[in-house]
Amino acid sequence: MGSGTESDTGAPDATGLKEAAGSAEAEGSADAADTDGGSGGGAALACRLFANGRVLGTLMLGRPGRVAVPDEVTELVEDFARRVALAIGAARRYTRQVTISRVLQRGLLPSQVARIPGIASALVYEPSGDGLAGGDFYDVFPCPPGDRWCFMLGDVQGSGPEAAVVTGLARPWLRLLAREGYRVGAVLDRLNRLLLDDATEAAESAAPAVVVGAAGAAAAFPAGTVPGAATAQLYAPGPPESGQARFLSLLYGELMPLPGEGGGVRCTLASAGHPLPLLLRPDGTVVTAAEPQVLLGVVDKVAYESSTFDLMPGDTLLCVTDGVTERRSGGRLLDDGDGLARALAGCVGLTAQGVAERIRRAVHEFAETPPGDDMALLVFQAE
């Protein structure tokens, strides 16, 4: 074992170990003499724990009856201390990451969803893993002149901070477009354009890094040996593609009360690369409520089309992310053979909250392992 402090790797200070061991041995002998009536002795080792250049604590081991610690035991303790320091450092970094992700999640998702007159609603949101900020997002909010409520359920490509960036762009943009009076199809058209423009700007900002990388490669290699474009990417401080994955699937719609005293609402919605919403009638009939269309942020000059239908008292609208439809058990998916529609058909007579809980439970019970993807679902039921 070498001497000196290897603080960058979390290794203990071997020199400190030897010095501490000598001091501890003397103290241990004195303690042992006090407790054994002067007839015994002992030895101890003290090893400082380093991680990321910081002292995290001290590992101390002792044993009565020995006047010296064998070298092989010293080496074993030194290696154990290094592993303990690395584990403590990793645990602290993970705790910090979880804390940051939870703060991001609270800021990116609404604290509560709006209550819609004549509609009972329910929400389930379960990020995968240990509750880190995921790619799924949702919102329900009122729009002027006061008789229109908008809702969204989206899934950003990726997860963690990268997904949070896109969510932080898409959700407020969509709210602004909706409150400016744009209808469903026009909102998706403009959101698609905004995402494409943002991705273009991000790619352009990364281009100078590629140029600098190419120049650095030319200086590093003799004439005629620069390995071309691949070297430019290798030497670039950041990958040029880092700003290009700005796309998402989205289900967006609006609800407006029907005129008269019969109740119900008119629903207009559109799906952009998102799992299609399902409409459950009181007789157990289940139909899809939208047409499939392309993801947002992928194709330029696309015109999104909306679908309109009436949600009458007793009707239930189920909106989910792919964490529900693509829940996997071996080689099977939950939605294989219209599995989600069958599960929804069994929810006749349940409240909106009951439907949400039944579908959530079906997702968890579909496989023995916990879900590996974020899961979000919205349920609207006309009263």
* 25-39, 49-63, 309-323: the lowest-pLDDT one: 25-39
Tokens of 32: 């042992």
* pLDDT tens sequence across 160-205: 667 777 888 888 999 999 999 999 999 999 999 999 988 777 666 6
pLDDT of residue 93: 84
Distance CA(215)–CA(210), nearest Å, equals 9
Name the 3-class secondary structure at 96: helix
Burial track 165-174 (b if 16+ CB lie within 10 A, e otherwise): bbbebbbebb
**One-letter identity of residue 98:** V
CB distance 90 to 347 below 8 Å? no
Residues in the chain: 383
Going by C-alpha positions, the residue among 377, 243, 350, 265 that lies closest to residue 313 is 265
As its CATH architecture, domain 110-382 has: 4-Layer Sandwich (3.60)
pLDDT tens sequence across 42-60: 788 888 888 878 888 888 8
Band the pLDDT of 101: cuts 50, 70, 90. low
What residue ranges of the chain are covered by domains with CATH 3.60.40.10?
110-382
Residue 29 and residue 103 in contact, taking contact as beta carbons nearer than 8 Å: no
pLDDT digits (tens, 9 = 90+) for 253-276: 999 999 888 889 999 999 999 999
Burial code (b: 16+ CB inside 10 Å, e: under 16) for 42-77 equals: bbbbbbbbbbeeeebeebebbeeebeebeeeebeeb
Instruction: Encode pLDDT of 102-135 as tens digits.
Output: 666 666 677 677 889 999 999 999 887 665 556 8
Residue 283 in tokens? 């007789």
Residues 6+ apart with CB under 8 A from 34: none
Are residues 233 and 210 in contact, defined by beta-carbon separation less than 8 angstroms?
yes
Tell me what pLDDT residue 238 has.
37
- Cα–Cα nearest to 74, from 12, 9, 27, 26: 12
Expressed in percent and rounded to 5, the helix, strand and coil fractions of the chain are 40, 25, 35
